[in-house]
Amino acid sequence: MKTVRKTLVSLLILAISFSLILAGCSSKESGGSKSSGTKDGEKVVIDFWTFWGSETRRPIIEKIIDDFNKSQDKIEVKHTYLPWGDVWTKNLASIAAGNPADLIINDINAVGHRAQNNQNTNLAKYLEQDPEVKDRFYPELYNASLYEGDPYALPFNTDTRLMFWNKDMFEEAGLDPNTPPKTWAELEEMGKKLDVKKGDKYERIGYLPNQGIGADVWMINADGKGYWDFDAKKAIINDETNVEALTWMKNYYDYYGDKTINSFKAEFGEQTADPFVAGKLAITTDNANFFTKIRDYGDGMNFGVAPLPAMEEGSGNSSWGGGFVAEIPKGAKHPDEAWEFLKYLTDVQAQEYWAVKNFDVVANKEAAEKAAGSAEFSEEGKMVYSEAAENMKQTLLTPTPNEAPDYINLIQPEIESVLLGKKSPKEGLDAAQKAVEELVKSNKK
Amino acid sequence: MERIVINKPEITKKYKKQKASSSLQRKEGLQGYLFIAPWIIGFLFFMAGPLLFSLYGSFTNFNITSKMDFIGLDNFKKMFTNDPIIWLSLKNTLYFVVISVPLTTAGAVMLAVLLNQGIKGMRVFRTIFYLPAVLSGVGVYLLWMQLLSPSSGLVNTLLGFVGIDGPAWLTDPSWTKNALIFMKMWSVGGGMLLYLASLQGVSQSLYEAAEIDGATSFRKFFHITLPMITPVIFFDLVTSTIGAFQIFQEAYVMSESGDGGPANSLVFFNLHMWNKAFEVFDMGYAMAMSWVLFIIILVLTVFNLKIAPRWVHYEGEDRK
């Protein structure tokens, strides 16, 4: 009798645990099938993945989606928010499983890499239907979305590095507050004049050459070319201007020394206060939307904004940017409908709305220019945004070369060793060049 | 612990003899299997499958979406001949293991001994020292990033009081790994709890006997306490070595943009593997890396088990 009861009890427990497991599975499954596009009456439901879940961004993207849904009665876009750290990994897994989203926001620099690996959809046939779409964008952004001449994504938003300076500090140091530095030499000269030292500690620093941007941006700024020659498809890490740019930066860096810079950097980590906003730095170089930090925490700071200074007069003020694209994952169930929404997403209305609400530089040229004059911006906001829109003409992107997708991992440590004084700029960049060439060779095999 | 002590063949023999083939026992056996079935099914579906897949994958150029060709030992060849970062990452990982494991083990033992004293309010102290082990993950790392900030962080401020000019912990490549080890020392409470339990199991009569013979507390510690807790030390050593080899999160969160900087000083084996897998989708290569790490850990663990009889002392066991 006892054993029978025991058996019954154990079977019962087992049954319960199994049903719990099954319940877990089935609820997952139903969630899964809902998220892929299914016909909902007449309308086709498409699933749109973004990582914009914050209090500020989520309502903005959802308003755009809502506007689109109301504008027609054939397609219903459903927004799925996935956290930044998860969204692209999940995208990969869902592509491999054959059940991806219909549209996703992804990194602009790796469009080609994803295309090569069959992760996104060739949009050439859609652009043949709507050839005018391609002219909406800043050409540099559109070009970054091409793989072997065909578009695999459309650019959504971008950014560009600008120089911000504190006008009050300029005046205090006896400099003309309306004349920012135009060359590297001027930047260094003015920067040093703006330093405030107490004993051997800096209370304020004029400018730090690796604040907000790194050596890579100065290399692009020097001659419009960074680590990679996209025409010749080869690494040019140790070319002359790159060595020159790193040497300049290293010398400027040494003027303050490791200790000063390290403690300065650590004190103003990315997440916490910014030294420029906190009044510890007179000039900074940062993204255009750095303005929102000045606006929100700058306590009415009197500042100006200009392009990055040129290496020398006439060498150009090239800047660097990145951004995000919207693309149709490979194997999406409703690519045609996704394309319709993709067009809407990159059209003037949606782009201008995004630009103004987020203070974000958008990929659509006309929308960016319209946003620059938006009545919703303050005078300062208009000033920064129009400077940013203007700067897009000289902003370059650095798409990941398919020949060496993780080349940055080989270059960055060398640059750090140079800045730490372990190697000379030439030695460091030569070593990086060699390492990347090796990587390219081994990837070719 | 006991698992290591128990002599398996003997026990199963005994069990078998007793069992004969009574139907009751068979039923119980069946029930046992039914009870572990959920785990076994879970293991087969969620662990064994992926494990075997990654073993196969390590011989391919799998990149999740487009390629999966058998390429033999190419991944392993590349690892040993054409990936400078992997050696650096192994060096970093070994440094971390070699320094942090003995330090945290010794730290946990010492803490446990201190917290085993019979003074008033000991429970409160025990709780306080155990707390960091409860806290975990990214929150703790972010907290430590603030504590270790070179000029305004609490650590360097305190060092400043005693006249020491503290290093730029997380920004100076020669200090970053030490900074992580230092941080690990803060959470030795988990190991401490194990030691505390085993310390309390040490028979009081041994100490009494030693006292009668006139042993100092120093000798009592080295000749009674320490030998009596060696099984726990052994267990802690093995598990924390395995854990230390797998260090990832700390470096991922605490280095700038998660790349293991500055100057690659925080590129650990698992971080490099993660980069290969999820940054450039070189999944086959990453799988091969994970098997190499598995073999390294396996060899070390077997080595640990082999030398254990030389220093691990089990109560009631004859010294050979």
Q: Which residue has 């199991």 as its token pair?
A: B201
- Contact criterion met (CB < 8 Å) for A258 and B168: yes
Residue B4: pLDDT above 80? no
Q: Does B65 touch chain A (CB under 8 A)?
A: yes
Mean pLDDT (chain B) is 86
Q: Please, which residues bridge with residue A196 across strands?
A: A204
- Contact criterion met (CB < 8 Å) for B280 and A118: no
Q: How confident is the model at residue A428 (pLDDT cuts 50, 70, 90)?
A: very high
Domains of chain B, start order: 77-311 (1.10.3720.10)
ipTM of the complex: 0.71
For residues B254 and A308, which has the higher predicted lDDT (pLDDT)? A308
- Contact criterion met (CB < 8 Å) for B145 and A269: yes
For residues A36 and B38, which has the higher predicted lDDT (pLDDT)? B38
Q: Does B104 touch chain A (CB under 8 A)?
A: no
Q: Does B170 touch chain A (CB under 8 A)?
A: yes
Q: Which of A60-69, A93-102, A164-173, B254-263 has the lowest mean pLDDT?
A: B254-263
The whole-number pLDDT of residue A354 equals: 96
The whole-number pLDDT of residue A4 equals: 52
d(CA A356, CA A61) in angstroms, rounded, equals 12
Residue A285: pLDDT above 80? yes
The whole-number pLDDT of residue A264 equals: 75
Read off the pLDDT of residues B110-152 as tens digits, 9 standing for 90 and up.
999 999 888 888 889 999 999 888 887 888 888 898 888 877 7
Query: Which residues of chain B have a CB within 8 Å of the CB of A408?
Result: 259
Query: Which residues of chain A have a CB within 8 Å of the CB of B27?
Result: 3, 7
Q: Does A405 touch chain B (CB under 8 A)?
A: yes
- Contact criterion met (CB < 8 Å) for B168 and A442: no
The whole-number pLDDT of residue B132 equals: 87
- Contact criterion met (CB < 8 Å) for A262 and B27: no
**CA-wise closest residue to A118 among A327, A324, A325, A323:** A327
d(CA A157, CA A345) in angstroms, rounded, equals 11
Angle between helices A365-372 and A379-391 (to 10 degrees): 150
The number of angstroms, rounded, from the C-alpha of A90 to the middle of its chain's C-alpha atoms is: 19
Query: Which residues of chain B have a CB within 8 Å of the CB of A92?
Result: 64-65, 281
Would the CA dihedral through A107, A112, A118, A121 be positive or negative? positive
A404 → chain B, closest CA residue: B280
For residues B4 and A356, which has the higher predicted lDDT (pLDDT)? A356
**Residues in Cβ contact with A170 at an 8 Å cutoff, skipping those fewer than 6 apart:** A176, A177, A190, A194, A282
Strands A323-327 and A201-204: what pairing?
Answer: unpaired
Question: By the 8 A CB rule, do A417 and A425 touch?
Answer: no
- Contact criterion met (CB < 8 Å) for B66 and A266: no
Average pLDDT over residues A287-310: 93
Query: A37-158+322-397: which CATH topology?
Result: D-Maltodextrin-Binding Protein; domain 2 (3.40.190)
To the nearest whole percent, how much of chain A has pLDDT over 90? Answer: 72
d(CA A394, CA A427) in angstroms, rounded, equals 30
Angle between helices B23-42 and A2-35 (to 10 degrees): 20
Q: Does B171 touch chain A (CB under 8 A)?
A: yes
Read off the pLDDT of residues A377-425 as tens digits, 9 standing for 90 and up.
999 999 999 999 999 999 999 999 988 888 988 898 899 889 888 899 9
Query: How many angstroms away from the CA of A347 is the closest CA of chain B?
Result: 31
Q: Give the nearest partner residue to B24 out of A3, A116, A413, using CB atoms.
A: A3
- Sheet-wide strand order for A283-287: A283-287, A161-166, A303-306
Read off the pLDDT of residues B171-230 as tens digits, 9 standing for 90 and up.
888 899 999 999 989 888 888 999 999 998 888 899 999 999 988 888 999 999 999 999
At A284, which helix (H) or strand (E)? Answer: strand A283-287
Read off the pLDDT of residues A182-229 as tens digits, 9 standing for 90 and up.
999 999 999 999 999 888 888 899 999 888 888 999 999 999 999 999
Residue A348: pLDDT above 80? yes
DSSP A281: B
Query: Which residues of chain B have a CB within 8 Å of the CB of A269?
Result: 145, 149
Q: How confident is the model at residue A167 (pLDDT cuts 50, 70, 90)?
A: very high
Average pLDDT over residues B244-251: 92
Q: Which of A19, A95, A117, A411 to mutate to test the interface with B (most CBs of B within 10 A)?
A: A117
Tokens of A221: 């700024």
A:60-89 residues touching chain B, CB 8 A cutoff: 89
A:10-49 residues touching chain B, CB 8 A cutoff: 10-11, 13-14, 17-18, 21
Q: How confident is the model at residue A1 (pLDDT cuts 50, 70, 90)?
A: very low
DSSP B224: I
Residues of chain A with CATH 3.40.190.10: 37-158+322-397, 161-321+403-444
Query: Which residues of chain B have a CB within 8 Å of the CB of A262?
Result: 150, 168, 171-172
Q: Which of B17-26, B207-216, B233-242 has the lowest mean pLDDT?
A: B17-26
The whole-number pLDDT of residue A24 equals: 46
What distances in angstroms separate CA B3 from CA A404, B8, B16, one per listed residue?
49, 9, 19
Q: Give the nearest partner residue to A409 out of B37, B172, B259, using CB atoms.
A: B259
Inter-residue long-range contacts of B32-40, CB under 8 Å, 24+ positions, other chains counted: B34/A10, B34/A11, B34/A14, B35/A10, B35/A13, B35/A14, B37/A14, B38/A14, B38/A17, B38/A18, B38/A21
Task: For B93-130, give the DSSP string.
Answer: HHHHHHHHHHHHHHHHHHHHHHTTS--TTHHHHHHHHH
Residue B12: pLDDT above 90? no
The whole-number pLDDT of residue B6 equals: 44
Residue A271: pLDDT above 60? no
| Residue type for position B82 | N
Query: Which residues of chain B have a CB within 8 Å of the CB of A11?
Result: 34
Number of CB pairs, chain A paired with chain B, less than 8 A apart: 102
Query: How many angstroms away from the CA of A205 is the closest CA of chain B?
Result: 16
Query: Which residues of chain B have a CB within 8 Å of the CB of A263?
Result: 149-152, 168
Instruction: Kindly compute the dihedral angle of the four CA atoms of residues B267, B270, B275, B276, in this order, to the nearest 10 degrees.
Output: 120
d(CA A194, CA A276) in angstroms, rounded, equals 13
Mean pLDDT (chain A) is 88
Q: Which of B22, B62, B157, B171 to mutate to test the interface with A (most CBs of A within 10 A)?
A: B171
The whole-number pLDDT of residue B3 equals: 45
Q: How confident is the model at residue A7 (pLDDT cuts 50, 70, 90)?
A: low
A445 → chain B, closest CA residue: B74
To the nearest whole percent, how much of chain B has pLDDT over 90? Answer: 39
d(CA A388, CA A164) in angstroms, rounded, equals 12
Q: How confident is the model at residue A29 (pLDDT cuts 50, 70, 90)?
A: very low
DSSP 3-state assignment of A397?
strand
Q: Which of B280, B282, B285 to mutate to test the interface with A (most CBs of A within 10 A)?
A: B280
| Residue type for position A157 | N
Read off the pLDDT of residues B275-288 as tens digits, 9 standing for 90 and up.
888 888 889 999 99
The whole-number pLDDT of residue A201 equals: 83
Q: How confident is the model at residue A9 (pLDDT cuts 50, 70, 90)?
A: low
- Contact criterion met (CB < 8 Å) for B275 and A6: no
Query: A161-321+403-444: which CATH topology?
Result: D-Maltodextrin-Binding Protein; domain 2 (3.40.190)
The whole-number pLDDT of residue A30 equals: 39
Residue A35: pLDDT above 60? no
Q: Does A6 touch chain B (CB under 8 A)?
A: yes
Instruction: Report residue B56: phi and psi, to 5°.
Output: -65, -45
